[in-house]
Structure 1
Amino acid sequence: MNSSSTLKYLIIGSSTNGIKENVGGTTILVDQMLDFFTNNNIEHRRIITNTYRSNLINMLCFFVGMLRNIIFVDVVILNAARKSMFILGPITYIFCCLFSKKLVFRKFGGRFESMINESKVKKYLSESTFLKSDLICIENKSTLDYFNCNYKYNLFWFPNTRKNTDLKVLDKFNKKFVFVSAVKETKGILLLIECFKAIGGNYTLDIYGPVVDENIKTSLENSSENVNYMGILSPHEVVGVLTEYDILVLPSFHDGEGYPGVVIEAFSVGMPCIVTRWNSLPEIIKHQYNGLLVEPKELASLTEAILSIDEELYKKLNVNTVDSFRDYDVDLVLPRFINRCEDLYK
Structure 2
Amino acid sequence: MNSKLNELIGIGPMSPPITGPGIKNRAIKTGLENNGYNITWIDTLGDRKRSVYQVIKSDKDSNFIVSVSTNGRFLLSPILVSKMITGSSRAILLPAGGEFKEELANLPYPTNKIYRYIFNKYDGIFPESEIEAKELKSFFNQAIKITSLPNPRSRPNTCNIEVGNSTLDLVYVGRVKETKGLDYLIDGFECARQTTPSISLDIYGHFLPNDEYELRFRRKCNQAEAVEYKGKIPDGEVMKTLREYDLLVFPTYYDGEGFPGVIVEAFMTGTPVLASNWNYNMEIVDHGYNGRLFEPQNSYEIAKNIKWFNQNPGKLEQMKKNAWKCSKRYSTDTVVEDLINILIDIGWELDTS
What does residue 75 of structure 1 align with? 63
RMSD: 2.2
Q: Displacement, 1:61? A: 1.1
1:138 is aligned to 2:127: yes
Distance 1:94 1:128 in 2: 12
Check whether the contact 1:107–1:137 (CA below 8 A) recurs between aligned residues. yes
2:80 maps to a residue whose letter is T
Distance 1:217 1:31 in 2: 34
TM-score (norm 2): 0.86
Say how many residue pairs are matched: 331
1:170 is aligned to 2:165: no
What does residue 209 of structure 1 align with? 205
Check whether the contact 1:259–1:281 (CA below 8 A) recurs between aligned residues. yes
Of 309, 312, 315 in structure 2, the residue corresponding to residue 313 of structure 1 is 315
1:327 is aligned to 2:329: yes
What does residue 220 of structure 1 align with? 218
Give the SS at the match of 1:83. helix
Moved more, 156-165 or 212-221: 212-221
1:129 is aligned to 2:118: yes
What does residue 118 of structure 1 align with? 106
Q: Displacement, 1:228? A: 1.0
Give the SS at the match of 1:43. coil
Aligned counterparts, 1:14-25, within 5 A: 14-16=13-15, 18-19=16-17, 23-25=18-20
1:27 maps to a residue whose letter is G
Identical columns (%)? 26
1:179 is aligned to 2:172: yes
Structure 1: gaps spanning 5 or more residues: 53-57
Check whether the contact 2:56–2:79 (CA below 8 A) recurs between aligned residues. no
Q: Displacement, 1:205? A: 0.9
What does residue 342 of structure 2 align with? 340
Give the SS at the match of 2:326. helix
Give the SS at the match of 1:87. helix
Q: Displacement, 1:272? A: 0.7
Check whether the contact 1:172–1:315 (CA below 8 A) recurs between aligned residues. no
Check whether the contact 2:207–2:214 (CA below 8 A) recurs between aligned residues. yes
Distance 1:235 1:185 in 2: 23
1:30 is aligned to 2:33: no
Q: 1:341 to 1:235 in 2, by over 3 A?
A: farther
Structure 2: gaps spanning 5 or more residues: none
Check whether the contact 2:104–2:112 (CA below 8 A) recurs between aligned residues. yes
What does residue 303 of structure 1 align with? 303
Give the SS at the match of 1:86. helix
Q: 1:248-304: CA deviations, max 9, x gaps?
A: 000011112122001001111211101111111111111111111111111111111
What does residue 287 of structure 2 align with? 287
Larger RCO (CA within 8 A; separation ≥ 6): 2
Q: 1:6 to 1:76 in 2, by over 3 A?
A: closer
Aligned counterparts, 1:259-278, within 5 A: 259-278=259-278
TM-score (norm 1): 0.88
Q: 1:74-122: CA deviations, max 9, x gaps?
A: 3111112123232222332223333321111111122332221113435
What does residue 55 of structure 1 align with? none
1:147 maps to a residue whose letter is L
Distance 2:51 2:201 in 1: 42
Q: 1:128-153: CA deviations, max 9, x gaps?
A: 10232012111111122223456412
Distance 1:66 1:6 in 2: 17
Distance 2:91 2:8 in 1: 10
